[in-house]
């Protein structure tokens, strides 16, 4: 889903104007950025938590030249889903994602 599809879905479900939903969405995004920068995490009740993690510095290789390079330490954001969401996604008969995920049959063959 893209941003407009998310806003449209919320607008229909909540019966709120697109302008109000847009303001809400912008506020939510700004709040998430602020909390991640200050506290290192942002909680989405009922879904999960966005957390800042630190990746250690490491050596890598330039795929074009083969030259060895040093990749600096950096902060990344990770999402941890709550058990309730994981349970919904892993219910028997729940559809698998069509991109990037193995089907149950492919996973069993491996």
Tell me, yes or no, whether 16 lies in a domain.
Answer: yes
Q: Which residues contact 23 (CB under 8 A, 6 or more apart)?
A: none
Of the pLDDT bands very low, low, confident and very high (cuts 50, 70, 90), residue 110 is very low
Higher pLDDT, 86 or 110: 86
Please say if the pLDDT value at position 99 is more than 70: no
Tell me, yes or no, whether 30 lies in a domain.
Answer: yes
Count up the domains in the chain and report the number: 1
Q: Which residues pair with 61 in a beta bridge?
A: 68
Regarding beta strands 68-71 and 58-61, do their DSSP bridges make them parallel or antiparallel, or are they unpaired? antiparallel
Tell me, yes or no, whether 20 lies in a domain.
Answer: yes
- Which pTM value belongs to this model? 0.70
Tell me, yes or no, whether 26 lies in a domain.
Answer: yes
For the chain, report the end-to-end CA distance as a whole number of angstroms.
30
Tell me, yes or no, whether 13 lies in a domain.
Answer: yes
Please say if the pLDDT value at position 20 is more than 60: yes
List the structure tokens of 76: 């990344």
pLDDT in tens, 26-38: 999 999 999 999 9
Enclosing domain of residue 14 = 1-36
Tell me, yes or no, whether 24 lies in a domain.
Answer: yes
- What's the mean per-residue pLDDT of the chain? 89
Tell me, yes or no, whether 74 lies in a domain.
Answer: no
Tell me, yes or no, whether 108 lies in a domain.
Answer: no
Q: What is the largest distance, in Å, between two alpha-carbon atoms of the chain? A: 56
């Amino acid at each position: 889903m893209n941003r407009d599809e998310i806003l449209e879905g919320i607008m229909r479900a909540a019966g709120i104007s697109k302008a109000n939903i847009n303001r809400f969405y912008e506020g939510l995004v700004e709040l998430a950025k602020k909390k991640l920068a200050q506290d290192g995490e942002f909680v989405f009740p009922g879904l999960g938590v966005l957390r800042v993690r630190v990746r250690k510095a490491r050596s890598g290789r330039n795929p074009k030249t083969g030259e060895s390079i040093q990749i600096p330490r950096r902060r990344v954001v990770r999402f941890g889903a709550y058990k309730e969401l994981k349970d919904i996604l892993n219910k028997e008969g729940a559809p698998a994602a069509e991109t990037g995920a193995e089907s149950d049959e492919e996973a069993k063959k491996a």
